[in-house]
Amino acid sequence: MWNREPVGGPFALTDHTGQTRTDADFRGQFLLIYFGFTYCPDICPTDLQAMAQAVDQLGPAGELVQPLFISVDPERDTAEQLAQYVPSFHPRLIGLTGDTEAIRQAADAYKVYYAKVPRPGSSEFTIEHTGFVYLVGPDGRYRGFFPPGTSAERLVHVLKQHLPRP
């Protein structure tokens, strides 16, 4: 039932270069938004790679698509940490982080579940999280989501239905 509720909304976060970014900064662009964390061993890298490949496979139309990675691990994912991480996927991938409150607000807006889970027998922790890719239109409105593990080809197929015809 949750997908009947409004998804998306305002956010104010810090990008991987240390600049404040809000949702309003991205009007006019299609957004592919993914919530995850840089220490995620496999799911996040796989989905981010698919997003990056999709943007490239779209060719010139891909310029209209801005991929965003919003951290759900504000303790470890500093702007500096994100700056090490995002360029390995795509030169235009923007990493966003913030304080616990700001991250929670952004995640709640997108109905993202995440929780800190301690690793047994150590002081380390991991983050359980949902891994949907959200599509937001140039007007800032939510267009839909892709399930975790969606291929680049599938992303391209659906994005082409939303992007203006060349």
Amino acid code (one letter) for 144: G
Q: Least distance (Å) from Ni ion to the CB of residue 139?
A: 29
Q: Examine residue 40 and tell whether it contacts Ni ion (CB under 5 A).
A: yes
Q: Least distance (Å) from Ni ion to the CB of residue 104?
A: 17
Instruction: State the CB neighbour count (10 A cutoff) for residue 76.
Output: 14
Q: Least distance (Å) from Ni ion to the CB of residue 53?
A: 18
Q: Least distance (Å) from Ni ion to the CB of residue 137?
A: 25
Residue nearest to Ni ion (CB): 40
Q: Examine residue 126 and tell whether it contacts Ni ion (CB under 5 A).
A: no
Nearer to Ni ion, 30 or 35 (CB): 35
Instruction: State the CB neighbour count (10 A cutoff) for residue 32.
Output: 25
CA distances from 36 to 1, 15, 59, 121 (A): 23, 14, 26, 24
Closest of 30, 33, 44 to residue 134, by C-alpha: 33
Nearer to Ni ion, 58 or 106 (CB): 106
Q: Examine residue 36 and tell whether it contacts Ni ion (CB under 5 A).
A: yes
Closest of 138, 54, 41 to residue 89, by C-alpha: 54
Q: Examine residue 44 and tell whether it contacts Ni ion (CB under 5 A).
A: yes
Which residues of this protein are in contact with Ni ion, per CB under 5 A? 36, 40, 43-44
